[in-house]
Chain A
């Protein structure tokens, strides 16, 4: 009479005996190994091929993304900014040690910062920095020089010729950019207006303290100056070294 345990033991012994007796025929043994190695090599090749394809398509995708991104940025810059901003002060007037010029709207939502070192600018919209390759127009620093020439009276410089922009650590001109963009067309008009103001015999008031250049802004914004500058200018700050 077989109980469960005895049956299990008997079957186990029987199966182990069969296991020990399991021997391949020599030819089959070699065939299995040979076919397996072939299959393995093929699988390796196909895996490499897949990897190559993945790499190839990744590169294509990356190039495509770069092109599309460039196109979008170019599109944005052309349509929204490039035609509006004709600022070329930094490139020729500020040395490496000078700072940047900012154009801010009153609420601070719009800001353009030109890096004089890299000769490139970036735009800040709603406090988010967006780098845009700005193609700046021809040099217009004569406007700035004229501006400084005008300012010489205010600063009581001996000679205008002695003034170099390198003498300033930073010049920050803050204007109402939104209004400027709408009505002023471009920033050159701003400087042109300054020149016009000077040529028309406009004289800056001298009663203000030279170190409080912000008062000049106050003057601009409160005087009926030619070119409607008062509509644009909110603040001007020059920081000396």
Chain B
């Protein structure tokens, strides 16, 4: 937290090193969120690119109300939301889910085998975007509901409802598949 404040201060003073440091620190989180929401690595990278360039472009004028991590992640989520619906893969074909990624890189625990991972992926993609977004921000990156609500200008009750409906739907979907 203090490190982030220091980095932002340095950024405002014109330090490009601070910008590099921020990128190295949060690039993985941003990509992971974009990937979880889009399920498309190329598109996820593009989103992170646009998001971070936009962040850098604000440079010295940057004013943060929340922590840097929340700000960057919600920026990614908002940018994805703003994408044209046509560009999003709303109807996910299970065959297109990147099982290859899972096979090669995800060190799954014993509880989750490849088959289960595919089913979770499928279930996640069937959730409405708003619910998927909240679940990813909360469970993957540990953002608090209050933070998300504040950054998205939505009431905390709405955020909690989306989360609860999302989890319920996942339960149903997983019960059917597992």
Contacts and interface: CB of A to CB of B under 8 A. Distances in A.
Looking at chain B's contact residues, the main secondary structure is helix
Nearest to B27: A24
Nearest to B19: A40
Pick the 3 closest A-B CB pairs, nearest first: A43-B59, A21-B105, A15-B140
A200 interface: no
A19 B140 contact: yes
B109 A13 contact: yes
Interface in A17-71: 17-25, 28-29, 31-33, 35-37, 39-44, 47
Report which residue of A14, A23, A39, A47 has the largest number of chain B beta carbons within 10 angstroms of its beta carbon.
A14
Given A8-B139, A17-B112, A19-B29, A32 B53 contact: yes
Interface of B: 14, 16, 19-20, 23, 27-29, 31-32, 35-36, 45, 48-49, 52-61, 101-102, 104-109, 111-112, 117, 120-121, 124, 135-136, 139-141, 167-168, 170-171, 174-175, 178
B106 A17 contact: yes
Given A40-B16, A41-B16, A22 B170 contact: no
Given A1-B175, A8-B139, A36 B59 contact: no
B101 A21 contact: yes
A16 interface: yes
B19 A37 contact: yes
Contacts of B135: 11, 15
Given A2-B174, A11-B139, A40-B57, A33 B45 contact: no
Contacts of A12: 139-140
A43 B61 contact: yes
B175 A18 contact: no
Given A36-B53, A39-B53, A3 B171 contact: yes
Nearest to B175: A2
